[in-house]
């Protein structure tokens, strides 16, 4: 997705995380569920993922993401793109956060979606929601998806580094001018550090305390689970491709 020209000079910049911020669930699980429901034989990734869990400390987040994506092994780029388009059109989002997004749009702000989820569907979600720039984890998908595909994990400080590369003229004294960041996760503290304002979405107790000290806003949309146990069960169902819609995307 091309970067808007500098001549547009937007009034401000709004940076939005995706998972847990614009919607309740981890999109990696939702996308996995969608694919496995249509191709159950791809559930082979489960024993592979579980087998590699003890090595998570060595492999790190990027390595485990490569392992998790093994369910897409040998998928053709066209098929992957079709899944991504349809997936983006199926999602529902937190109304409270969507209202904030629309407010920024009316102001003429530059809208940036910055996610750690795979970019092949982050861009489709950005297209649907009208973001000006959509950034996710770049994954090598050509000529077919590898068993453990190469990727560059777009998380934490990596989001900031990419923004500095794409829009260096928008930074002043290390901060994005007229910027507002949205996230649910402490992993995005590097991104919030370059924003003039910030809003936390359903933050943890620790992140809430940090936000209060910094004067950040907090919104708490209703999440579609009643307990941690229910959430964990439904996450497992998503990962295994079980149930028609355990994520309850319509909630």
Confidence band for 152, pLDDT divided at 50, 70 and 90: very high
Q: HSE on the CB side for 40, CA within 13 Å?
A: 3
* CA 59/CA 182 separation, integer angstroms: 28
Q: Dihedral, CA atoms, 59, 136, 192, 57, nearest 10 degrees? A: -10
What value does the mean pLDDT of the chain take?
93
Query: What are the tokens at 195?
Result: 């924003």
Q: Compute the average pLDDT of residues 157-167.
A: 96
C-alpha Rg value of the chain to the nearest Å: 18
Domain boundaries, the chain: 20-155+221-240
The confidence score (pLDDT) of residue 48 equals: 95
Query: What are the tokens at 45?
Result: 């990734």
For residue 81, pLDDT over 80 is answered with: yes
Q: Compute the average pLDDT of residues 58-74.
A: 96
The confidence score (pLDDT) of residue 246 equals: 67
Cis ω for the linkage preceding 26 (within 30 of 0): no
- DSSP secondary structure letters along 210-248: HHHHHT-EEE-PPPS-SSHHHHHHHHHHHHHT-SS-TT-
* CA 213/CA 208 separation, integer angstroms: 9
Give the distance, in angstroms, between the CA of residue 128 and the centroid of all CA atoms in the same chain.
14
For residue 3, pLDDT over 70 is answered with: no
The confidence score (pLDDT) of residue 2 equals: 40
Confidence band for 153, pLDDT divided at 50, 70 and 90: very high
Q: Compute the average pLDDT of residues 8-12.
A: 70
pLDDT tens, position by position, 210-245: 999 999 999 999 999 999 999 999 999 999 999 877
The confidence score (pLDDT) of residue 247 equals: 63
Query: What are the tokens at 227?
Result: 């307990």
């Amino acid at each position: 997705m091309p970067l808007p020209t500098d001549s547009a000079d937007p009034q401000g910049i709004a940076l939005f995380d995706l998972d847990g911020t614009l919607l309740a669930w981890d999109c990696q699980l939702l996308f996995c569920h969608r694919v496995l429901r249509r191709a159950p034989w791809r559930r082979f990734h489960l024993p592979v993922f579980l087998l590699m869990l003890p090595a998570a400390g060595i492999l790190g987040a990027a390595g485990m993401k490569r392992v998790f994506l093994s369910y897409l092994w040998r998928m053709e780029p066209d098929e992957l793109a079709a899944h991504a388009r349809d997936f983006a059109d199926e999602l529902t989002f937190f109304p409270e956060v969507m209202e904030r997004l629309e407010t920024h749009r009316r102001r003429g702000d530059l809208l940036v979606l910055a996610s750690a989820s795979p970019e092949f569907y982050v861009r489709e979600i950005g297209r649907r929601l009208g973001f000006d720039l959509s950034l996710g984890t770049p994954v090598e998908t050509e000529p077919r998806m590898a068993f453990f595909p190469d990727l560059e994990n777009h998380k934490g400080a990596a989001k900031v580094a990419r923004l500095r590369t794409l829009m260096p003229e928008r930074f002043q004294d290390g901060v994005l001018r007229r910027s507002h960041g949205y996230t649910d996760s402490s992993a995005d503290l590097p991104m919030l550090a370059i924003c003039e304002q910030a809003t936390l979405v359903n933050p943890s107790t620790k992140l809430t305390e940090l936000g209060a000290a910094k004067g950040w806003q907090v919104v708490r949309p209703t999440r579609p689970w009643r307990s941690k146990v229910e959430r964990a069960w439904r996450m497992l169902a998503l990962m295994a491709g079980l149930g028609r819609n355990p994520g309850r995307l319509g909630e």
